[in-house]
Structure 1
């Protein structure tokens, strides 16, 4: 069976990018006249309801007791990092232009490459590191107000 995309992960990564772009636009409109922390809470509740519905409908519920302590730890840490990121992102959107905030937020791509190399032992080629450098430069240039 052939796929329309070279790899299934590529489809999901591109979908993630598209939804992230819509997130910035919708959030920028949504945070006007509302406290950014409250807006983040509303977003979080919506995400909880949507993800719970997907798990229920798809029959993907898993007994929490079947999950290892290490997995729980890192899922909780990931959730805490996500929450902190969202709080900061909504505050930045409330204070700045979406077209400048989103690219700076995407410096996370650069940080993921660095952290993955340092902590996960992942290897990137020289060409990959050149791309990471270009992403960093591009984000800074888009975020810069001339």
Structure 2
């Protein structure tokens, strides 16, 4: 009986390690410059069951995000496919959740941190998105 428990424990730990390494592959960390983000296969339909994160982090300045093209599956409260924008690390800042169609629109971080998450469920894929993100530092007079 002891061997069965040990094997189960080893199997569970291996699955957790595989899961953790896969999730790290889906997170891109960006610290400077100008970047264009696109959904997988853009401008063709993005695949089902996707999860991708971009974390923009810098010690100073702000991030500007401009949506150039955006079309995700529409759903009530964006529970199926969505783009989630966290403009701050603060829990007091409400994240922006987008789905469906969005024309050109800009968002700005409240500090030097911006976190963008793309998620698609198992059905009804669409064109996706193209978003430009740029770091900038403004100097006082």
Greater fraction strand: 2
TM above 0.5, yes or no, is no
For normalisation by structure 1, the TM-score amounts to: 0.24
For normalisation by structure 2, the TM-score amounts to: 0.25
Greater fraction helix: 1
Greater RCO (CA < 8 Å, at least 6 residues apart): 2
